A = this chain, B = another copy of it.
């Protein structure tokens, strides 16, 4: 895929994000309903409207491309091009009035992410990247400093509940927070953005779906950081779940070693 083509896909991804933003804001202003799904996660009318707006926009721009989203069935599953969307990542945050939720859009080509966008409308942070074109936050190029020696290395990690979705791996959460006591626990998307923009040094996410992680690899790698899948497993209701670490390369390696030894213990 050449640079012109990639830039074209990135432009579409950014415009598709604008569509989500518009639909979510309209629903937010009009008032929204919250429901609990079978897997006990939440969905609001804003999630549904956001994903519908995205699907409509992509289907018009690229009628042959596939679409995978949290709230509706996949389309064009056999295409090499798959657009992946999570209209509101952190729905529980959104539903409770916290501004730390975000929206995720990515284009995967032959299962490899080539474009990624994460947007936090209430934080005025939008991050994006495309293969070979770099990673940006609000138009400023992002570089992850892999050799930075910080006094207090900071970890962002998923909630302990994430570590209880496939057996009880709470011990890994306890060990991670002991190794990195300067810890923050945010929801997926915001913790991913933090790793990109140097808000934290490394992020560990645990037992999350494809759409939660879809933009992260390209964002982190284009900024020069390391992205590693630590575990990939099947959940009876939630489908394939991913455990990942990403950010400054030496810390990702430390965490991979910690997780491996915790598994053997």
Contact = CB atoms under 8 A, between A and B. Distances in A.
Interface string A82-100: 0000000000110011111
A170 B200 CA distance: 21
A74 to B, nearest CB: 28
Given A199-B93, A199-B97, A161 B181 contact: yes
Given A97-B199, A151-B40, A185-B183, A173 B164 contact: no
A248 to B, nearest CB: 13
Given A152-B92, A177-B173, A184 B160 contact: no
Interface residues of A, number: 38
A35 to B, nearest CB: 12
B100 A100 contact: yes
Contacts of A199: 93, 96-98
A178 interface: yes
Q: Report how many copies the assembly holds.
A: 2
Interface in A45-97: 92-93, 96-97
Contacts of A200: 96
A122 interface: yes
Given A99-B125, A198-B96, A160 B186 contact: no
A123 B97 CA distance: 11
Interface in A150-198: 151-152, 154, 159-161, 163-164, 170, 173-174, 177-178, 181-187, 194, 197-198
A21 B199 CA distance: 21
Nearest to A98: B199
Contact of A178 (B170, B178, B186, B187): B170
A124 interface: yes
B40 A198 contact: no
Given A152-B92, A185-B185, A97 B198 contact: yes
Contact of A185 (B163, B174, B184): B184
A36 interface: yes
A181 B123 CA distance: 26
A245 B186 CA distance: 20
A186 B152 CA distance: 16
Interface in A106-126: 122-125
Nearest to A99: B123
Given A36-B151, A159-B181, A174-B174, 6 more contacts: A40-B152, A99-B124, A122-B123, A159-B183, A160-B177, A185-B185
27 contacts: A36-B151, A40-B152, A96-B198, A96-B199, A96-B200, A98-B194, A98-B197, A98-B199, A99-B123, A99-B124, A100-B100, A122-B123, A122-B124, A152-B161, A159-B182, A159-B183, A160-B181, A160-B183, A161-B181, A161-B182, A161-B183, A173-B177, A174-B177, A183-B185, A184-B185, A184-B186, A185-B185
